[in-house]
Amino acid sequence: MSVHRYRSGSLTDQQIISSVTLGTATVTGAASSLVDVSLTNDGAKTDLDAFMARWGWTFVATNPTTPLPSTEAVIGVTTGTAQPFTTAITVLFDTVRKNMDTSLFALTGAGEIEVKKAGTYEVSFNVQANALSGTRGTSRIWLERDPAGGGAFAAVPDMEGFGYHRNTTAGRGTPAVSAFPVDLTADDLLRVRVEEPNAISLTTLAGSRFCVKRAS
């Protein structure tokens, strides 16, 4: 018996292969972009390659020596701190709700998430906010990345959202970005920023959320 590893770039392909019965093969890890197939009949490798290619998978190696990455590693943090703002601020996430791999993730004192290993990650976040000044306002949120913690934060493309906030105590708005894939390097820092583009007074509210999950 041998183990053959394949790679897929499509979540749809991953979901299909995880639900397929291969007969003489056992599939492991199909929730990620890598999958290991244990083949009881080594003579069927050619047929297996053809089958996997049909579903969008590319052969990587036979009997790989490195383990499959964890697909369950996730950190989820929230904030209990209200932060008034008009111009851009960093949302101060202060509470870890779940960290399934402390060797991979950490929450810094500045409300940032540190990602300690390179890979592709799914990032989701929202910011609950409300108007302060009796004037309706809008908010813009976005993700920033500091490669390897070098102190040079920059916006991550396509990772932004917008909210609208009425001038009442019930005017809470929650702009959000959900499960978007981002390629990261070891020791990257991630933070969430928020601003009111028209300088209207808003405040963040308790319950904003920031979640990073390893995808590959």
pLDDT at 157 over 60: yes
Q: For residue 136, name the pLDDT band (cuts at 50, 70, 90).
A: confident
Task: Pick 74-214's CATH classification: 3.90.1010.10, 2.60.120.40, 3.30.479.10, 3.10.20.440.
Answer: 2.60.120.40
Mean pLDDT, range 7-17, rounded to an integer = 64
Q: For residue 81, name the pLDDT band (cuts at 50, 70, 90).
A: confident
Predicted pLDDT of residue 55 = 79
Predicted pLDDT of residue 22 = 66
Q: Give the 3-state secondary structure of the chain.
A: CEEEEEECCCHHHHHHHHCCCCCCEEEECCCCCEEEEEECCHHHHHHHHHHHHHCCCEEEEECCCCCCCCCCCEEEEECCCCCEECCCEECCCCEEEEECCCCCEEECCCCCEEECCCEEEEEEEECCEEECCCCCEEEEEEEEEEHHHCCCCEEEEEEEEEEEECCCCCCCECCEEEEEEEEECCCEEEEEEEECCCCCCEEECCCCEEEEEECC
pTM for this entry: 0.68
